[in-house]
Structure 1
Amino acid sequence: MAMLMLRGALGLLKWALVAVGAVALIFTALIATPLQRPPELRSVSDSVKGIDFSRQVPLEQFQARDGTWLGYRHYAPKGPATGRGAIFIHGSSGSSGTINFVLTAAMAAHGVETWALDMRGHGASGTRGDIGYVGQLEDDLVDFVAHVRKSAPDLPLTLVGHSAGAGFSLRIAATPIIQDLFVRTVLVAPYLGYDAPTNVEHSGGWANPDIPRILALTALRKLGIDCCAQLPVLAFAVPVNSEAILTPVYSDRLMRNFATRGYRLDLPAVTHPMTIFGGTEDEMMISGKYAEAVQAIKPDIDVKLIEGVNHMGMVTNPKAVNAIAEDVATRGANQS
């Protein structure tokens, strides 16, 4: 009997040591795989050429529930007001102060009162490249809508997102209660998640994930160890010395929050009208597969492709910008 008990104890000790060894290997992966920033992606960097930044409105701030001041820009409607409003969510690395203001200014020019938010971890909002917890971006957006409602209590709001911001907008459109803050959602060149058929590998050279570190953090969470989420796991192909304007890397928790949960998971939960715009020359996304991917799950989603426009052109090219602005200005108040 004593020998059996001893053997049992030794067996348990062996498996305990194996578990400790596995966790040690995971932590080694966290430390031993430094994140590599990809070389500058010229198609993104060159998109600033010829942009007139004098049309950009000044940065404002509001205070989120945790006391942090977050940045945004407010574009008052020009010309006849449509009685519609829009909140714009920028893409990865960007902010309200980058070139996507061409689209937000265009929506205002079409009579749509428009707000562009610096998502926490970007621009003038919080710690660059990081957030406090997964779910904080949703909390921030709820707080921002409450701030907007102080001056526009009854304005129908459309949520408009570009690229990663479009993925986050899909996340919002699928989130109970929060989804009802918006009458409609417009996704511009959306990143639909790592498993979407619309992805170009590494987003065409724009993004470089630290796969070993991501897998290690995922394994730790499955073991009930929720730590190290502040570690950087995703780097972008931004120009050297551009950190004052752009966010070069994301922490694990920012990467997980500033995205869809997965288009197959989120799309069935969408309850309000949604439109997707893509450019046929998008070097980061395979726009021709948007309709097939999303309409197989939710057939009533509109998908519109703009000929001859690349990823950043969707927020700067006059043809794309005017089409999106016209769509936001004419839909969403009393029709789908």
Structure 2
Amino acid sequence: MASILTFAVRGIVWLLAAAGLVALVLAGMIAVPVSRPKALASIADTARSAYRGDVPPLQYFQARDGSNLAYRRYTPSGPSVNRAALLIHGSSGSSIAVHALAKALAARGVESIAPDMRGHGASGTRGDIAYLGQLDDDLADLVGHLRGQGLASPLTLAGHSSGGGFALRVAGSVNQGLFARTVLLSPYLGLKSPSTRENAGGWASPSVPRIIALSVLQSFGVTCCSQLPVVAFAVQPGSTRILSSEYSFRLLQNFGTHRDYRLDLDPANGPISVIAGRNDELMFADKYREAMQSKANIDVRVLDDANHMDVVSTASFVAVVADDLATR
């Protein structure tokens, strides 16, 4: 009897020691900080060259958690075509990033709405959200708000870069019925997509040990550290006043596709278009067709001579995107 008790005690001690060791390893991994990558001049230069005149003022809607979130609304300046578009900016950005596209759509009779996604711009805490899935809830709340204000036109959801990944997430979710069509502009589809360059071509610098450790904790239902930053972006020095330079673990998980983008692609039933620039510095544009797996409801268009930001910034390429959104 004594030997059995001794064996049991030793087993418990070994289990506690192993658990303590795992905890120490995870703590060490979580302690690995995020490092800021060198700024990518091409991203900033193309964005700076975009048209920034006649920016409409921010408006606000109340999300289900009581927060007031910001968006800009662009009424048609040309004859209305009974279409509307909801434009989602990319990582670190805000509604200003899609202003040139929104103005081009307005000139073509398309009403456009450009939100500052929570964690960006004037919406919420910069670089963070409260829980995984909050961005999906916010988007549904914004659509409900717009419908309540009388917007009756069919809505197209268009997202750029990480916003394109998020748009695909929505297209395969319970919220897909809110939109008649989805357009992915140079989308970031996550690490499992053949279109993704390593670290997004130098745009993103993740703390891989911290991400792994937080993923392990999350698998056990532990989310106490999900507010910690896990990735930094190659923004220009001094730009953090207007840009989100880092993302928390939970924002990184929510603002894009699921870990495997095919979990969003497979259940997406509505029409989806991908438009990207052949000279994209962050993605392999020639791999988008492969990534989309030749699904019948998806078409892919690659624009010669365009880079990652051109599709929402440079007039000639913005016109191509706007024509597509206004006529299909």
Give TM-score, length-normalised by structure 2: 0.97
Equivalent residue number for residue 273 of structure 1: 271
1:142 aligns with 2:108: no
Match of residue 5 from structure 1: 5
User: Among residues 177, 192, 198, which one is paired with 1:201 in the alignment?
Assistant: 198
Distance in 2 (CA, whole Å) between partners of 1:260 and 1:71 is 23
Secondary structure in structure 2 of the residue aligned to 1:295? coil
Residue equivalent to 2:114: 116
Matched ranges for 1:188-267 at <5 A: 188-261=185-258, 262-267=260-265
CA contact (8 A) 2:276 2:285 kept: yes
Partners of 1:154 and 1:63 in 2: CA distance: 20
Worse-superposed segment, 125-134 or 64-73 = 64-73
Equivalences for 1:160-199 in 2 at 5 Å?
160-176=158-174, 178-199=175-196
Match of 1:127 in 2: 125
Q: CA deviation at 1:149?
A: 0.6
- Could you report, residue by residue, the CA deviation over 1:272-307 in whole angstroms, capped at 9, with x for unpaired residues? 1100001000000001010111124x2431001111
1:76 paired with 2:68, answer no
CA shift for structure 1 position 24: 2.0
Structure 2 residue identity aligned to 1:235: A
Amino acid at match of 1:6: T
Shift of 1:48: 3.4
**1:329 aligned residue:** 326
Call closer, same or farther: CA 1:117–1:49 in 2, change over 3 Å: closer
Among residues 278, 282, 286, which one is paired with 2:284 in the alignment? 286
Given that 2:269 and 2:297 are in contact with CA atoms closer than 8 Å, whether structure 1 keeps it comes out as no
Give the C-alpha shift of residue 125 in structure 1: 0.1
What amino acid is the match of 1:158?
Answer: T
Deviations along 1:121-172, one digit per CA (max 9) or x if unpaired, are: 0000000000000011011101100111123342100000000000000000
Partner of 1:269: helix, strand, or coil? coil
Between the aligned partners of 1:131 and 1:255, the Cα distance in structure 2 is: 10
Q: Deviations over 1:224-249 (max 9, x none)?
A: 32220000001000011111111100
SS of structure 2 residue aligned to 1:192: coil
Question: How far is the alpha carbon of 1:45 from its aligned partner?
Answer: 1.2
Q: Cα offset for 1:201?
A: 1.2
| CA–CA distance in structure 2, aligned partners of residues 299 and 111 of structure 1 | 29
Distance 2:86 2:151 in 1: 14
Q: What's the counterpart of residue 46 of structure 2?
A: 47
Please tell me the residue identity of whatever aligns with 1:85.
Answer: A
2:104 alignment partner in structure 1: 106
Letter in 1 for 2:323: E
Task: Please give the alpha-carbon distance, in whole angstroms, between the structure 2 residues aligned to 1:287 and 1:254.
Answer: 25
User: Are 2:50 and 2:314, in contact at CA under 8 Å, matched by a contact in 1?
Assistant: no
Shifted more, 16-25 versus 306-315: the winner is: 16-25
State the one-letter code of the partner of 1:82: V
After superposition, the CA RMSD in angstroms is 1.2
- Corresponding residue for residue 35 of structure 2: 36
Partner of 1:334: none
Counterpart of 1:10 in structure 2: which amino acid?
R
Partner of 1:15: 15
CA–CA separation in structure 1 for the residues paired with 2:51 and 2:280: 23
Amino acid at match of 2:111: E
Shift in alpha-carbon separation, 1:232–1:78, aligned structure 2, 3 A: same
Which structure 2 residue ranges, 5 or more long, are not aligned? none
Q: Is the 8 A contact 2:88 2:158 kept in 1?
A: yes
Instruction: Report the secondary structure of 2:92's partner residue.
Output: coil
SS in 1 for 2:53: helix
**Structure 2: distance between partners of 1:266 and 1:49:** 33
Given that 2:51 and 2:313 are in contact with CA atoms closer than 8 Å, whether structure 1 keeps it comes out as: no
Distance in 2 separating the partners of 1:245 and 1:111: 29
Mark the runs of 5 or more structure 1 residues left unpaired by the alignment: 332-336
Matching residue's letter, 1:73: R
2:239 is paired with a residue whose SS is: coil
- Percent of counterpart pairs with the same letter? 47
SS in 2 for 1:101: helix
Letter in 2 for 1:300: N
